[in-house]
Chain A
Amino acid sequence: MNTDTHVLSVLVENHAGVLNRVSGLFSRRMYNIESLSVGVTEDPTVSRMTIVTSADGDSLTQIMNQVSKLIDVKDIKILSLDNAVLREHVLIKVSGADVAGVMQICNVFRANIVDISSESMTAELTGAPSKINAFISLMEQFEVKDLVRTGLTGLLRG
């Protein structure tokens, strides 16, 4: 993560249109979204959004202030590698030509093979973004057919 990338953990009311309000705010104020993941929390009336954005310090304050102004936003925190557990999930489908080679890389990363056919193999991995990036770059030698990342999600430690 470079110094300009920030992870925001935003608690919002869980009802229709909230995602639109938050993402619309980012687009109309020219803020950048690198990834956004959202899901319900232990309280079914509340969802948590994890937003990865790139911004300098002043812009980050602006983003925090503007997001906080939305009526549906209940809380906003900055997550970092120091204060939070950050995870991402990837599914990657590669050619099935070199089963042993794929298995070897997957073993090193403790990735699971979740689908296999004569043409292709699909592996899954959960981890910090740096680990996911390293895994993807090593898997590229096996001809990547499809790839999906969930975007970052995380929780404060302690």
Chain B
Amino acid sequence: MKLTGADIVIECMLEQGVDTVFGYPGGSILNIYDSLYRYSDRIKHILTSHEQGAAHAADGYARTSGKVGVVFATSGPGATNLVTGIATAMMDSVPIVAITCNVTTNLLGKDSFQEIDIVGVTTPITKHNFLVKSVEDIAPTIRRAFKIARTGRPGPVLVDITKDATGNMCEYESEIQDTSVERTIESDENAFKAAIELIESAERPLIYAGGGVIAAEAAEELKRFRAKIDSPVTLSVMGLGAFPASDPNFTGMIGMHGTKTTSLAISQCDLLIAVGARFSDRVTCNTATFAKGAKILHIDADRAEIDKNIKTTHSIVGDAKLVLERLAKTVKQQSHTEWMESIYKWKEEYPIHKPYGDSFTPQCIMETVNAAIGRDSIATTDVGQHQMWAAQYLMVERPRKFITSGGLGTMGFGLGAAIGAQAANPDYVVVNITGDGCFHMNMQELATAAKYELPVIDVIINNNVLGMVRQWQNLFYEKRFSNTTLDKKTDYEMVSRGLGAQAFTATNKAELEAAMAAAVANRTMPTVINCITNPDDFVLPMVPAGHSIEEPILDIDEC
């Protein structure tokens, strides 16, 4: 049947099982929005306040559903407003497809109104991108884009289509798309043999798992593998949820703000097994001293991650689910009683959760939120101190339930991601942990949540400062608080109500409990809870940049 390019775009979305897209219309993408109007019974479009919010929403949708997220934007500023969202997805390996439309082909390259070479702009921050100038190429390109986004190490793909291509007609035949993920192992038998030998000869193994375990849906395989090799498990911030936070064998998060137990385990293990993780600088801190007594086995879907940041002893390149499954089957049952006892002892000696009495500390806020949201909930975060507190204190038990900008560290990510998460999981409680700095970056998306009756809960850790930067100024810049004291005149309750949310202020645990109860009970309206806290609460433990992970600052009096 003959269809316009715009209709083909939407048909291709339906082929892929897309039910929701996030976006913002404009001149060049008018044809596609005209098609959306006619297909509105089959595809839901969520109109955000800003394209950046739409990109983060597609990202949150993808991370919490495991499906490919989709965002639409027009040419020029519409497309460039996606850039931070696409880069966020790239750094965290999130499968999204961004469809942008460009000016008509004859206006390309002439600095036309709202013309931008968005393919050029996004080349470094996409897994791949395409410029489509002919209607015949639209369907094959979009099909390929989805496949690239979800295959291997996932990532964002951008398809830029000229306006004339969306208006022209061509023959279109619907094709059933296989949307399942192709899982493969690149490494051969020898790699497995070497890995098994390493594991079976280790006395003090430690598993360090990252977001790759979640992307590969390998949490169950990780549990089985761990039980087989009798090892503790640590997670990167991207890995939170890949292993239950409440499991006694979990040492807590790894890295700059990881637990002391993890730091000790890293420095004393004799085999570090990294799975779906990439030894980011925020994990290793100082690569020269990181796990220096250990052999390193690296399992990752992306060959280019092997030996990139840390030199490995052996590696297996392949899908984490398949590799862990095979290892769990073939490795002989191990037992490391003495090693596990020392892990349990450290956990008791250096607990991350500590008594806080009556003070309204970040830990108190996280624990109160955690208790209120229950099991069927998703937490998103913005970036800064509150993000690390959320990572440390929220008990993330399952994959795809803790959504954070780990690689790019994008302030303003959380609310957009929460909207996407809520759209993908309407029955879940979705809470965004944010700060007063981050709240101001993308608070306009509260209007989006309100309009679509998405009951996301925005919990602001309001300490009146850009806390993480202030923490560094405190420690390393002799308390010269350059531009980190916010002192805004914002009336948080008023602005939130103005955008269509219900709003509360909490200055103690009881007030927060009451506000959370009201928030969780309201399934049609977003909620903002403004928690007033102390500007000089620190995120601890902390390994200062360049220092060894073995020596985290545990107490601020040490500084």
Q: Mark A residues whose CB is within 8 Å of B.
A: 16-17, 20-21, 24, 28, 58, 61-62, 65-66, 68-72
Other CB < 8 Å A-B pairs besides A24-B123, A61-B307, A71-B128, 10 of them?
A17-B119, A17-B131, A20-B120, A62-B307, A62-B308, A65-B303, A65-B304, A68-B303, A70-B128, A71-B148
Check: B127 CB closer than 8 A to any chain A CB. Answer: yes
A129 to B124, CA, bound (A): 33
Check: B306 CB closer than 8 A to any chain A CB. Answer: yes
Q: Measured between C-beta atoms, what is the minimum distance from B408 to chain A in Å?
A: 15
B residues 91-121 touching A (CB-CB < 8 Å): 119-120
A130 to B131, CA, bound (A): 42
Main secondary structure of the interface of A (DSSP, over half): helix
Q: Which residues of B contact A68 (CB under 8 A)?
A: 303-304
Q: Measured between C-beta atoms, what is the minimum distance from A110 to chain B in Å?
A: 43
- Complex A-B, nearest 9 residue pairs according to Cβ-Cβ distance, in ascending order: A65-B304, A71-B128, A65-B303, A66-B304, A69-B304, A28-B124, A24-B123, A21-B123, A24-B124
Most B-side CB within 10 Å, residue of A24, A58, A69, A72: A69
On whether A58 and B307 interact (CB within 8 A), knowing A21-B123, A24-B123, A24-B124, the answer reads yes
Check: B136 CB closer than 8 A to any chain A CB. Answer: no
Can you list 17 A-B contacts (CB < 8 A)? A16-B131, A17-B123, A17-B131, A20-B123, A28-B124, A58-B311, A62-B304, A62-B307, A62-B308, A65-B304, A65-B306, A66-B304, A68-B303, A69-B302, A69-B304, A70-B128, A71-B128
A68 to B128, CA, bound (A): 13
Q: Which residues of A contact B128 (CB under 8 A)?
A: 70-72
Q: Which residues of B contact A66 (CB under 8 A)?
A: 304
Most B-side CB within 10 Å, residue of A17, A58, A66, A68: A17
A148 to B120, CA, bound (A): 29
Q: Measured between C-beta atoms, what is the minimum distance from A41 to chain B in Å?
A: 22
B residues 115-142 touching A (CB-CB < 8 Å): 119-120, 123-124, 127-128, 131
A to B contact number (C-beta, < 8 Å):
31
Q: Which residues of A contact B307 (CB under 8 A)?
A: 58, 61-62
Taken residue by residue from 11 to 35, chain B's Cβ proximity to chain A (1 for < 8 Å, 0 otherwise) reads as: 0000000000000000000000000
Q: Which residues of B contact A28 (CB under 8 A)?
A: 124
Q: Measured between C-beta atoms, what is the minimum distance from A65 to chain B in Å?
A: 4
Interface size on B, as a range, is 10 to 19
Q: Measured between C-beta atoms, what is the minimum distance from B469 to chain A in Å?
A: 26
Which residue of chain A lies nearest to B304 when distances are taken between CB atoms in the complex? A65
Q: Mark B residues whose CB is within 8 Å of A.
A: 119-120, 123-124, 127-128, 131, 148, 302-304, 306-308, 311
Q: Which residues of A contact B311 (CB under 8 A)?
A: 58
A17 to B120, CA, bound (A): 8
Q: Which residues of B contact A72 (CB under 8 A)?
A: 128
A20 to B129, CA, bound (A): 12
A129 to B306, CA, bound (A): 34
Q: Which residues of B contact A65 (CB under 8 A)?
A: 303-304, 306
On whether A71 and B120 interact (CB within 8 A), knowing A62-B304, A66-B304, the answer reads no
Q: Measured between C-beta atoms, what is the minimum distance from B70 to chain A in Å?
A: 19
Q: Which residues of A contact B131 (CB under 8 A)?
A: 16-17
Q: Measured between C-beta atoms, what is the minimum distance from B72 to chain A in Å?
A: 22
A28 to B87, CA, bound (A): 14
A20 to B128, CA, bound (A): 13
Query: Given A17, A24, A62, A71, which contacts B127 in the complex, CB threshold below 8 Å?
Result: A71
A71 to B124, CA, bound (A): 13
A6 to B120, CA, bound (A): 28
Q: Which residues of A contact B123 (CB under 8 A)?
A: 17, 20-21, 24
Which residue of chain A lies nearest to B144 when distances are taken between CB atoms in the complex? A71
Q: Which residues of B contact A58 (CB under 8 A)?
A: 307, 311
Q: Measured between C-beta atoms, what is the minimum distance from B504 to chain A in Å?
A: 45
A69 to B151, CA, bound (A): 12
A65 to B303, CA, bound (A): 6
Q: Measured between C-beta atoms, what is the minimum distance from B125 to chain A in Å?
A: 10
A24 to B119, CA, bound (A): 13
A20 to B123, CA, bound (A): 9
Which residue of chain B lies nearest to A72 when distances are taken between CB atoms in the complex? B128
A70 to B311, CA, bound (A): 23
Q: Which residues of A contact B124 (CB under 8 A)?
A: 24, 28
Which residue of chain B lies nearest to A25 when distances are taken between CB atoms in the complex? B124
Q: Which residues of A contact B148 (CB under 8 A)?
A: 71
Q: Measured between C-beta atoms, what is the minimum distance from A75 to chain B in Å?
A: 15
Q: Measured between C-beta atoms, what is the minimum distance from A67 to chain B in Å?
A: 9
A32 to B148, CA, bound (A): 28
Which residue of chain A lies nearest to B305 when distances are taken between CB atoms in the complex? A65
Q: Which residues of A contact B306 (CB under 8 A)?
A: 65
Q: Measured between C-beta atoms, what is the minimum distance from B203 to chain A in Å?
A: 29
Which residue of chain A lies nearest to B119 when distances are taken between CB atoms in the complex? A17
Which residue of chain A lies nearest to B152 when distances are taken between CB atoms in the complex? A69
A58 to B312, CA, bound (A): 12
Q: Which residues of B contact A62 (CB under 8 A)?
A: 304, 307-308
A17 to B117, CA, bound (A): 11
Q: Measured between C-beta atoms, what is the minimum distance from A56 to chain B in Å?
A: 12
A66 to B148, CA, bound (A): 16
Q: Measured between C-beta atoms, what is the minimum distance from B338 to chain A in Å?
A: 36
Which residue of chain B lies nearest to A71 when distances are taken between CB atoms in the complex? B128
Q: Which residues of A contact B303 (CB under 8 A)?
A: 65, 68-69
Q: Which residues of A contact B119 (CB under 8 A)?
A: 17
